[in-house]
Amino acid sequence: MVLNPRIPVQHQPQRLTPSNTFKVSSPALWQWRQQAIADLSQIQARSLVDLKQELDWLLLEISDLTSLDLKLAPAETQLIQMQVSLEKLQQLWQQRLAENIPVQHLTGTAHWRQFHLQVSKDVLIPRPETELLIDLAVEAARNSARLANTNLWADLGTGSGAIALGLATAFPQAMVHAVDWSEEALAIAQSNSQTCGLDQQIHFHWGQWCESLAGLEGQFAGIVSNPPYIPTEVLPTLQPEVFKHEPHLALDGGVDGLDAIREIVAIAPQYLQAGGVLLLEMMCGQDDAVKALLSAQGQYEQIQIHADLAGIPRFAQAYRI
């Protein structure tokens, strides 16, 4: 559940368009950055996140700099266009350090796959590892002849809408149904779908898991979810950036962390077509329990566990019999 934001390589950030802009001399901004990095020397040793990376990500988000600019010596006469003044930038960075506010909340944005998403305290900040759910969905559809001509997918617990957007892009002929219990989260997800030009391909539903999909039973090619899966007693041990600033509704999975997964495993077969795929993200160490739940349900086959890029068992995949 580490919050390191990635600096995009293939996809340059889509710049925000504030009403006011500021111009700062390159040497002044460079001096500020060097001092900020020097001040991190003692703090970084106590932090689980890469604060220098976060500092650079913040700079890229609020200025017209590129990642290459941050590696080169600045030109003496260059003026950097910024969305905030240098004084405001200092305030934002001090907030990040003093209050453990995620840098994504300071900018209101997060990068996920090719998307530049709006985020807030009402949604879980989408993590890089969750991107693999989209790749697994594509692979599952490719490997199943029964899914070749189907065009209905669901994202349960959509949050910022990241997974729904990923599915809509991966399956351009599909209709994606995105569900969330938080009305605030749904508002953000809808805004992101409009910004990305995918609002005609995604239907949003307020409700608990599949309950708001009544009438669509047996029609889904796939159901994908990154549900809350952290055991309740583990929550206070998470990074303060997570525990203090991200919605517990999207984190708390109950006593064993499996409450939401248990519900989804139980009800998903009613909504999946024969051969439809269920994909779930889970916590490290939950793979055996999730496999057992899928097996005991009795309506799944080809149950598999997939690791994330760090080699941690992270995703469960099963097809409806």
Tell which wins on pLDDT, 74 or 15.
74
Amino acid (one-letter) located at 228: P
Q: Can you give the pLDDT at residue 15?
A: 38
Between CA 218 and CA 305 the distance in angstroms is: 24
- Shortest CA distance to 55 belongs to which of 96, 27, 83, 14? 96
Q: What is the pTM of this model?
A: 0.90
pLDDT at 7: 36
Specify the fold of 122-320.
Rossmann fold (3.40.50)
% of the chain with per-residue pLDDT over 70: 92
Strand-strand pairing, 202-206 and 175-180? parallel
Predicted local confidence at residue 42, as pLDDT: 75
Q: Please state the domain extents for the chain.
A: 22-107, 122-320
Read off the pLDDT of residues 260-282 as tens digits, 9 standing for 90 and up.
Answer: 999 999 999 999 999 999 999 99
The two tokens of residue 163 are 């997974």
Q: Is the pLDDT of residue 10 over 80?
A: no
- Residue 15 tokens, joined: 């710049």
Average pLDDT for the chain: 91
Q: Is the pLDDT of residue 69 over 50?
A: yes
Contact, 278 vs 265, CB < 8 A?
A: yes
| Average pLDDT, integer, range 78-83 | 92
User: Exposed, middle or buried, 142 (CB in 10 Å: 0-12/13-18/19+)?
Assistant: exposed
- Residues 211-249 have pLDDT tens digits of 999 999 999 999 999 999 999 999 999 999 999 999 999
Whole-number pLDDT of residue 172:
94
| Residue range 33-43, pLDDT digits in tens | 999 999 998 77
Could you tell me whether strands 313-320 and 22-25 are parallel, antiparallel, or unpaired per DSSP bridges?
A: unpaired
* Beta bridge partner(s), residue 152: 175
Q: Angle at which helices 51-62 and 26-43 pack, to 10 degrees? A: 150
In this prediction, residues 249-260 reach a mean pLDDT of 98
How far are the Cα atoms of 15, 60, 120, 127, 201 from residue 78, in angstroms, in the given order? 19, 16, 33, 35, 43
